[in-house]
Amino acid sequence: MTRVALVTGGSRGVGQGIARALLDDGWVTYVTSRHGTGPDGSIALTCDHADDVAVAAVFDRIGADHGYLDLLVNNAWAAPRGFGGFAEPFWQRPVDDWDTLIGIGVRAHYVASVHAARLMTDAGSGLIANISSFGSRGHLHSVLYGMSKSALDKMAFDMGTELVGTGVYAVSLWLGLIRTELLLSLGVDEFAGFDLRRAEDPEFVGRVVAALAADPTLPEKNGHTLITAELGAGYGIVNNDGTQPDSHRSAFGGGALFPPAGDHS
């Protein structure tokens, strides 16, 4: 049966790379963006993820086209004014940073997950994957950035708990440094202390997501936060140039991820 995926925010960067990898793996791949653009071969839909009606229309379209959805990659994200590694502490930032980092960075993921879970539970299978980061573990960019990523991890855990027995699973993924076109255009060898030669290609993340969706041990990972570099190493997945990306776990304190040790619900 045809595998159907939706990548939100799939017109550029990480989302575009994930979509490309899924297309290469044979998935029918829908992508959303505010301008209705996406990689060649994808089904690009115009959607502002701050608009619940527009989000619902995306899932109505997928339901009408196929009647089911195998994979949702929650990647939509909106940068607040001045984003780029905030120099100011939180009390010097405008409070409307909340509207993008929480309103889009968290709420839009929840809304998309609600619609995806309806299609998936009706079909009895599916995977919801939140794109999170090590900002859950250590300070990265700003207070609200860290809050938003931590929320995605807890969201996946609680969704996974409620999805038990449905055949649908939820995970949160911590990506490391990503070799986006924008980052590579800077002409630097490292960023924030991390070697770009050992960073992750956007397509690498997509190949990891595809392998995770097909992993027979996926039920054991339900509700968990997972590190894409470590999953890739386990699956034998490498970057486009054959390199194995580094995990940033040790740089952010090491230790177990979410859920807390001993809680394997």
CATH (one of 2.60.120.10, 3.60.40.10, 3.10.20.30, 3.40.50.720) for 4-252: 3.40.50.720
* Structure-token match 């001045």, residue found: 82
State pLDDT tens for residues 205-254: 999 999 999 999 999 999 999 999 999 999 999 999 999 999 988 878 77
**17 to 96, 144, 150, 252: CA distances (angstroms):** 29, 26, 23, 25
State pLDDT tens for residues 72-113: 999 998 878 766 566 788 999 889 999 999 988 999 999 999
- Dihedrals φ, ψ of 247, to 5°? -80, 140
Q: Per-domain residue ranges for the chain?
A: 4-252
Type of residue found at 67: G
- CB burial readout 79-97, b (16+ within 10 A) else e: ebeeeeebeeeeeebeeeb
Catalytic (active site) residue 68: no
State pLDDT tens for residues 23-65: 999 999 999 999 999 999 999 999 999 999 999 999 999 999 9
Question: Which of the pair, 37 or 198, is modelled with greater confidence?
Answer: 37
Name which of 31, 126, 1 is nearest 69 in CA terms: 126
Residue pair 168/117 in contact by the 8 Å Cβ criterion: yes
Name which of 154, 264, 169 is nearest 214 in CA terms: 169
The pLDDT of residue 132 is above 60: yes
110, 145, 169, 235: the catalytic one is 145
Confidence bin at 265 (pLDDT 50/70/90): very low
Residue 198, pLDDT score: 85
